[in-house]
Amino acid sequence: MKINDESPVLLALLDAAVDAMVVSDHAGNILRVNQAAAVLFGYSVDALVGQNVRMLMPDAMASRHDGFLRHHLETGEKRIIGMGRDVEGLRSDGRVFPLHLSVGRADISGEVAFVGIMHDLSRRKAAEEATARSQRMDAIGQMTGGIAHDFNNLLTVVIGNLELLEMAETSEKSGALISDALEAAEVGADLTSRLMVFARKSTLNAEVIDLNAEVFKAVAMLNRTIGAHIAVDTDFANDLWQAKIDATQLQTAVLNIALNAQDAMPSGGHIKLETRNMQLDDTYVAQEIGIDMGNYIRLSIADAGEGMSAGTRTRAMEPFFSTKPVGQGTGLGLSMVYGFIKQSGGHIAIYSEVGEGTTISLYFPALADAIQRNADLRHDREQHEQIGAGLRVLLVEDDPMVLRLSETRLKSLGFLCVTATSGDAAWEVLKARNDIDVVFTDLVMPGELSGHALARRVAKEMPHIRILITSGFSENVLRGKDTDGGFSILQKPYRQVDLAKAFRALFES
């Protein structure tokens, strides 16, 4: 048997494998790949066969690959053969990502073949980074709490003695100096109290509240303080569940986030606040690290401003971290919000892209009857099963973890699934096929065609194809920026039943 024979066993093995598999000859030329490998690297199967495996490696590794192969074939030394190691892969869009590679050798009819089995480590690395961030924030919180506690003791002594001096001193000049010192000490006391909030050591006055009403009060205060170039809009759910929250801290959090949003839109714009009931199941936990399954109230505050880079998002909630010029911010606003949310048993998520704006979502545990809601959720799932039976969907998503999760979700609804990792690649698929019924695309995509640009082109040139857009940005911000063009929008994160309902509404419209 030749290594390039169409072996039914080999083909079945490749198709059944969950991990990526690549079979190459002695020179590294690709003979076979499975669908998992094509999805992992962002190519079609046909585009990979016949190419050299170097195309799947970053330049530093690719330049040494031929030397590794030649050394092994000449000496028989097994540097990587038969053992696994963590390396980096190169996707079709130029992004480098972590993966675990195991290589095996087969000698068939005098010919040498290599089989590479690859497992994407992006999710594990993301989880490790999220855990490290959480541990770093906890460590910073413990240190900050200890420092704030000691400073509070010192400031108590300083303020007390200054007040005694102020009562005893009759000199006008000395009185002015004492008054200035007292004012500075009180500013220091206010700073330490805010640090205590971040450290989750402040005392919360949590009560069962109507979150909509409390946010409305914050909006009223915001309208009196925010610049005239900023408009504040709200979209409150009518059937919002109840939660046990410190109302004052909630209003402070809203003001902090909204004022940051104002700073991100120096030329003006809209701030949108919306509330929703959220049932977070295991599919959500797969996307969002650090929150338990359950029932939550989500408060989203969104702007269409400058947005954040990945590095800024990572550090945004650290105390004293600020992108503003010196003297224009303490860097404690989001830190206080973070401490308040965590102390309330909730979660904070930041979704932002440079130039596209920011949506910050606060999740508070709901007090409503979880058993009844979970029963309703099961009923909804049963109602929407197989909604996509017989239909083919083109899934467009550049994040590999979200791509795999979304593909699984779509298949569970009965859809036949075709994938693309960019708007440009999706358009090529659409031009080459005539069996696509619906396009399901993320909004922010690499390449020339964003998700929205792709949707517009499909609507114009292929009007028979249905289009559903998904994004982590607030739906109100998307519509406020006129980026939807009348397309249906599903906001991330979403449950399986939300996905099914979105498609049902799309097909019935």
Give domain limits for the chain: 8-120, 125-198, 207-368, 377-508
Q: What is the dihedral of CA 467, 471, 476, 479, to 10 degrees?
A: -40
Return the pLDDT at 23: 86
Q: CATH number for the 377-508 domain, one of 3.90.550.10, 3.30.300.30, 3.40.50.2300, 3.30.990.10?
A: 3.40.50.2300
Token pair for 318: 């650290």
Residue 493: cis peptide before it, omega within 30 degrees of 0: yes
Asked if residues 357 and 312 have their Cβ atoms less than 8 Å apart, the reply is no
Give residue 286's pLDDT: 43
Q: Per DSSP, what are the bridge partners of residue 300?
A: 274, 361
8-120 matches 207-368 in fold = no
208: left (phi over 0), alpha (psi -120 to 50) or beta: beta
In this structure, what token pair is assigned to residue 3?
């290594």
- The whole-number pLDDT of residue 327 equals 45
Tell me how far the alpha carbon of residue 423 is from its chain's centroid: 19
Alpha-carbon torsion (441, 442, 447, 448), positive or negative: positive
pLDDT at 414: 86
Q: Give the three-class secondary structure for 310.
A: helix
Asked if 237 contacts 215 with a C-beta cutoff of 8 angstroms, the reply is no
How far apart CA 44 and CA 94 sit, in angstroms, is 16
- Could you tell me where the DSSP H helices lie in 199-270? 211-225, 247-263
**At 430, is the secondary structure helix, strand, or coil?**
helix
Cα torsion 281, 285, 291, 296: sign: negative
Q: Give φ, ψ of 370 to 5 degrees.
A: -70, -35
Q: How far is residue 274's CA from residue 296's CA, in Å, rounded to a whole number?
A: 14
Q: Residue 52 to residues 15, 32, 111, 340: CA-CA distances in angstroms? A: 21, 11, 17, 53
Of 238, 144, 237, 159, residue with least CA distance to 199:
144
- Report residues of the chain scoring pLDDT below 50: 1, 198-200, 286, 289, 326-331, 370-372, 374-375, 480-484
- The SS3 call for residue 227 is coil
- For the domain spanning 207-368, the CATH number is 3.30.565.10
**Which pLDDT score is estimated for 330?**
46
- The amino acid at residue 121 is L
For domain 8-120, the CATH superfamily is: PAS domain (3.30.450.20)
**What local confidence, expressed as pLDDT, does residue 59 receive?**
85
Residue 190: partners with Cβ closer than 8 Å, 6 or more residues away: none
What backbone phi and psi angles, to 5 degrees, belong to 486? Answer: 85, 5
Residue located via tokens 């066969």: 49
Which helix (H) or strand (E) covers residue 20, if one does?
A: strand 20-25
Q: Is the Cβ–Cβ distance between 72 and 81 less than 8 Å?
A: yes
pTM of the model: 0.49
Angle, vertex CA 14, rays to CA 10 and CA 20, nearest 5: 140
Q: 200 and 235 in contact (C-beta within 8 Å)?
A: no
